[in-house]
Amino acid sequence: MGSVLIKHGTLVTATDTFAADLFIDAGRIAWIGMRPDANCPEADTVIDATGKYVLPGGIDVHTHLDMPLRGDLRSVDDFETGTIAAACGGTTTIIDYAAHSHGESMEQGFETWRQKAEGKAVIDYGFHMTLSEFTDQTLHGMERMVEQGVSSFKVFTAYPGRMMIDDAAILKVLKQAKKLGALVCVHAENGHIIDVLVEEALHAGQIAPQYHALTRPSIGEGEATHRVITLAEIAGAPLYVVHISCCEAIQEIAAAKQRGLPVYGETCPQYLLLSVDCYYLPPEFEGAKYVMSPPLRERPHQECLWQAIQTGVVDTIGTDHCPFHFRGQKELGRQDFTKIPNGGPGIETRMSLLYTGGVETGRITLNRFVDLTATGPAKLFGLYPQKGTIVPGSDADLAIIDPSIATIISAMTHNSHVDYSLYEGMRVKGMPEYVFLRGELIVREGKFVGKSGSGRFLKRPPVSR
């Protein structure tokens, strides 16, 4: 592996912005300083970053690659196409949600996900373990997972009979997580409310995509968020609330933080930039592209989320990347919105959408951008300072962006395998020109130039909080 000098760039971390040259050796950041400096060695490769930002490679802690849903349905990006898309968007690490089937051990689920990723992933990856049921094996399974470097778990208050576990089980999981130094992630929507509203809607012949949103009210998300925060407080455990979509949930997170509880929030670009209006887009059934859970909300929720980002109530930006083709997959729900596979693409556009919607508009600083997309996730999920920042000794995972260059998002040109984009035709800045993974150039002039299988599994240790 050759050495690299990135010169004349503007380096950006979660706290600082400064002009400096950066020297990479043996896959790590070896030296940061100003030229001319006698200490700076000669490099095999030199990149001129004049007028460009050098950022820590992004960390997306919410992805679902190669994820089975039901029957033959699975998300259409595997660990190769999904991580190539991620890399081209400036993301160099993902944490994907591994899962075990009912009746299967967590070890088996973990092994299945390792096999999906090995030899395919082009960026580094870790796993959370999804707890889709609670059995007498669960607490022991969590212990075994932490030993394997899977130090975070996901629970659901939605999908009764499939993914939901009850409050008693969630409390036990939280207590165990506290003991193990693990972090519990929660999908917080009230599944019982949703089931009743869905049944009523179908009974009334309301089958179109917009009923997906109308049967998942935001107050149900707020209620579930409040309830799980209460359970976490009783357990004395930290809690990470995934894909927050609404004001009600934000208020609960804000109140918990105010009281000093270790409660963390994640939102995603789609909740910041898209609204419930998307479900009514012509032609008929176009709205199916936007069917995801939680659903897109009315516009005022977007302002709430942006404010929460500005005030630190939201800690990270993930994607919930879980793409299904419109043709042949989303279309399964033409006669019944509950048959539309839930999820959308996002892994490739996370950084550029937040840059464009946040930094370009002046809503957030470039430092806050780095914190939300890299440093914050690295700290919460046991990857810091190996990942998520620019300091000597860290992995040389870097994204170089030219703030003067704009790109048009389109399914015709994106790297994800999925056949549509949620942002077709949108003009964005912040797509990277160069991306490095542990010192190897994997994206050059916006094109993937890395190798399949060069991503490594990241064992994530417990984090003391």
CB of 64 to Zn ion, least distance (A): 6
CB of 322 to Zn ion, least distance (A): 6
Q: Which string of x and - marks every residue 300-339 that binds Zn ion (by CB under 5 A)? A: --------------------x-------------------
For Zn ion, the closer of residues 47 and 241 by Cβ is: 241
Which positions from 142 through 161 interact with Zn ion, judged by CB under 5 A? none
The 3-class secondary structure across the chain, one letter per residue, is CCCEEEEEEEEECCCCEEEEEEEEECCEEEEEECCCCCCCCCCCEEEECCCCEEEECEEEEEECCCCECCCCCECCCCHHHHHHHHHHCCEEEEEEEEECCCCCCHHHHHHHHHHHHCCCCCCEEEEEEECCCCCCCHHHHHHHHHHCCCCEEEEECCCCCCCECCHHHHHHHHHHHHHHCCEEEEECCCHHHHHHHHHHHHHCCCCCCHHHHHCCCHHHHHHHHHHHHHHHHHHCCCEEECCCCCHHHHHHHHHHHHCCCCEEEEECHHHHHCCHHHHHCCCCCHHHHHCCCCCCCCCHHHHHHHHHHHHCCCCEECCCECCCCCCCCHHHHCCCHHHCCCCECCCCCHHHHHHHHHHCCCCCCHHHHHHHHHHHHHHHCCCCCCCCCCCCCCECCEEEECCCCEEECCCCCCCCCCCCCCCCCCEEECCEEEEEECCEEEEECCEECCCCCCCCECCCCCCCC
CB of 352 to Zn ion, least distance (A): 21
For Zn ion, the closer of residues 81 and 342 by Cβ is: 342
CB of 465 to Zn ion, least distance (A): 23
CA distance 257 to 90: 30
Polymer length in residues for the chain: 465
Binding flag, residue 395, Zn ion (CB under 5 A):
no
For Zn ion, the closer of residues 11 and 99 by Cβ is: 99
For Zn ion, the closer of residues 242 and 374 by Cβ is: 242
For Zn ion, the closer of residues 43 and 268 by Cβ is: 268
For Zn ion, the closer of residues 189 and 320 by Cβ is: 320
For Zn ion, the closer of residues 320 and 440 by Cβ is: 320
Q: Which two tokens stand for residue 455?
A: 């991503």
| Closest C-alpha among 28, 59, 54 to residue 124 | 59
CA distance 58 to 260: 28
Are the C-beta atoms of 47 and 401 separated by less than 8 Å?
Answer: no
Total site size for Zn ion, rule CB under 5 A: 1
CA distance 434 to 454: 17
For Zn ion, the closer of residues 61 and 254 by Cβ is: 61
CB of 70 to Zn ion, least distance (A): 16
For Zn ion, the closer of residues 96 and 371 by Cβ is: 96
CB of 316 to Zn ion, least distance (A): 13
Task: Using CB positions, name the residue nearest to Zn ion.
Answer: 320
| Closest C-alpha among 156, 122, 120, 182 to residue 381 | 182
For Zn ion, the closer of residues 252 and 320 by Cβ is: 320
CB of 99 to Zn ion, least distance (A): 11
Are the C-beta atoms of 97 and 62 separated by less than 8 Å?
Answer: yes
For Zn ion, the closer of residues 124 and 320 by Cβ is: 320
Site residues (vs Zn ion, CB under 5 A): 320
